[in-house]
Amino acid sequence: MSSILSMPVIADKALLNPNSDDGCWDILFMICRGTGITPMLQLIEYHLEKLNDKQNNTQLFLLFSNETELDIILEPDERLKQKKVEDLEELENRSNGKLKITRILSNKLDKLGDLSHDVIFSWLSKNYTPNNNGEIISIPSSITHGHTSYSSSSSILKKELPIQEQQQIIYEPTKYVETLSCDPVALRVFVCGPSLMMSAVNEAFSKMMFPEEKIITID
């Protein structure tokens, strides 16, 4: 992973794009679980505020894993949990399509399998097609998980893939990642959550050979 930061304060610009006047990333992917949602909310709020100041093509994508809706936030106070869930939904509603949220409901007996290599790649490739000097990589418009189609906006993923979809996905990550490595767009993936979840995501990115400089983990 490219860097490990303490819990951020956006005012310190620790997580912002140093090569942009407004600090915004062109494409911002966020993967989180539990209290890992907190820095992601800060990033989302910052980028949406800047989007109100000018028109640009910034796109925000959030993927978070939880067992139930209220397990998204590990607050001791149930009212605080509910408020943060409502805040997230409100941000999506006022983003004018700039923020797309994907929810994964995990199996309590297998809390890490929901963030597998296949699931993360499907989410990335569904939402962004890398461009290398005009060469566009074609990614299928729909990748099926079990009997449920993957949708990028407020969706729930099923982690079991049919045999034919498993075979289809074997080659695509390599081609996708190779092109992404040369993509000039300012793209970053932020990851934050419990240690086991972070390890699972790091392993998935390593298997994918995802460019390390495009990943920022928040400890």
Q: Is 38 annotated as a binding residue?
A: yes
Cα–Cα distance for residue pair 152/125, rounded to 1 Å:
10
Residues with Cβ within 8 Å of 71's Cβ and at least 6 positions away in sequence, in order, are 34
Of residues 9, 17, 12, 1, the one with CA closest to residue 186: 17
* Angle between helices 117-127 and 195-208 in degrees, nearest 10: 70
Of residues 42, 38, 35, 36, the one with CA closest to residue 10: 42
* Angle between helices 37-53 and 78-93 in degrees, nearest 10: 30
Contact by Cβ (8 Å): 46, 215: no
Residues with Cβ within 8 Å of 126's Cβ and at least 6 positions away in sequence, in order, are 139, 143, 150, 152
3-class secondary-structure state, position 161: coil
Q: Mark the binding-site residues for FAD, compressed into ranges.
A: 38
Q: Mark the binding-site residues, compressed into ranges.
A: 38
